Chain A
Amino acid sequence: MAKHHGDGHHDGHNAFDVSSKVSEFEILELAVRELAIEKGIFSAEDHRRFAEWAEGVGPHGGSKLVAKAWSDPAFKQRLLENGTEACKEVGIDWLQPTGVGTPSDYTFFYVLENTPQVHNVIVCTLCSCYPRPVLGMSPDWYRTPSYRRRMVRRPREVLAEFGLHLPADVEVRVHDSNQKSRFMVMPMRPEGTEGWSEEQLARIVTRDTMIGVALPRADRTSDAGSLAEQAR
């Protein structure tokens, strides 16, 4: 074995091998999907359209909701009182999110308002429940056991890993979405945004600020923005 020592680190590190392997879950998904199509529960076309919708939805709907709520106190009230209904005002229908009749597991939507006293953050310890009609697909880290286990148990440490250090007089409130409810955080409107239009405001309401692992800033329009700034 000693003569192979030099390239030992290549063992089990072949990217092409990894991508050509089909996992048990992929086989399971394919089998269930084919059965559902054969039984007429949905068509292959429905499935393709759902996948296209799910992959394309993104966090823009959520950004729009927050920007509108910051600009319009009456809308903010409606959004906090009945999130599912208020979403229709920006064109998001939770009961028919795709508009093609694909059944949805999203049932109730609630917006969590941050205040100077309370900072909200969302997690799903059981799986990866996420408000997809407003935020799109969840980021990979949101679905990892590391985030799910630790966010409920050591939220301040996890937030610090995201660069978010909250003052001691702020209550950190973790929301574990384990049932039918889906949550989104409404961050506080930052300083330096006075007089901004809804479109301008929406640009700083990034995905991470609506999960609760970051705060919006007037000079930050992307979750990757702070990294780029550091690299400069």
Chain B
Amino acid sequence: MARPKFQVGDTVRIKDRTTLFHTRTQKFIRKRVGTIVEHRPEWVIPEDEAWDRMETGRKEPFYVIRFKQTELWPDYTGLAHDTLETEASESWLEAVKG
């Protein structure tokens, strides 16, 4: 079990990586900044699971990231304290100094 690189409360940015094939990292969270709110168990990343590489696929820790809706959508019509949570594996995240 790899030690998770990020801790609850850390500020992270979702990378905008090239994805030739399958991924489960949504376009609308890429390049956006959020806060880690929970750890999730280590698992084969979807990019490898899609090819059924359950034994040989890359395993990574997963995180729940909470975004302010106004960070995701510049024209957000709701209220400033509204949020969205979703999950990503570690290699999609980069630390943001803050």
Which residues does A use to contact B, with CB under 8 Å? 107-108, 125-126, 152-157, 168, 171-181
Which secondary structure dominates chain A's binding surface?
mixed
Please name all residues of chain B whose beta carbon is closer than 8 Å to the beta carbon of A126 when the two chains form the complex: 24, 26
> 3 shortest A-B CB distances, which residue pairs?
A176-B86, A179-B87, A156-B78
Closest to A120 in B: B85
> CB-defined interface of B81-98 with A at 8 Å, one 1/0 digit per residue?
111111111000000000
21 contacts between A and B (CB under 8 A): A107-B43, A108-B40, A108-B41, A152-B84, A153-B76, A154-B77, A171-B81, A171-B83, A173-B83, A173-B84, A174-B84, A175-B84, A175-B85, A177-B86, A178-B26, A179-B46, A179-B62, A179-B87, A179-B88, A180-B87, A181-B87
Q: Does B20 contact A (CB under 8 A)?
A: no
**A125 lies within 8 A of B26 (CB):** yes
- CB within 8 Å of A: which of B37-82? 40-41, 43, 46, 62, 64, 66, 69, 72-73, 76-79, 81-82
A179 vs B62: C-alpha distance when bound (angstroms): 9
A126 vs B79: C-alpha distance when bound (angstroms): 25
Please name all residues of chain A whose beta carbon is closer than 8 Å to the beta carbon of B21 when the two chains form the complex: none
Please name all residues of chain B whose beta carbon is closer than 8 Å to the beta carbon of A175 when the two chains form the complex: 84-86
Given A107, A176, A180, A181, which contacts B84 in the complex, CB threshold below 8 Å?
A: A176
Please name all residues of chain A whose beta carbon is closer than 8 Å to the beta carbon of B81 when the two chains form the complex: 171
A152 to chain B, nearest CB (A): 6
Closest to A183 in B: B85
A181 vs B62: C-alpha distance when bound (angstroms): 10
A106 to chain B, nearest CB (A): 13
**A176 lies within 8 A of B85 (CB):** yes
B58 to chain A, nearest CB (A): 15
Please name all residues of chain B whose beta carbon is closer than 8 Å to the beta carbon of A154 when the two chains form the complex: 77-78
Say whether, besides A179-B40, A181-B40, A174 and B79 are in contact (CB < 8 Å): no
A157 vs B73: C-alpha distance when bound (angstroms): 15
**A176 lies within 8 A of B78 (CB):** no
**A155 lies within 8 A of B24 (CB):** no
Please name all residues of chain A whose beta carbon is closer than 8 Å to the beta carbon of B86 when the two chains form the complex: 175-178
**A172 lies within 8 A of B26 (CB):** no
Please name all residues of chain A whose beta carbon is closer than 8 Å to the beta carbon of B26 when the two chains form the complex: 125-126, 176, 178
A141 vs B34: C-alpha distance when bound (angstroms): 29
A83 to chain B, nearest CB (A): 13
Given A108, A125, A157, which contacts B77 in the complex, CB threshold below 8 Å?
A: A157
Please name all residues of chain B whose beta carbon is closer than 8 Å to the beta carbon of A181 when the two chains form the complex: 40, 64, 87
Closest to B78 in A: A156
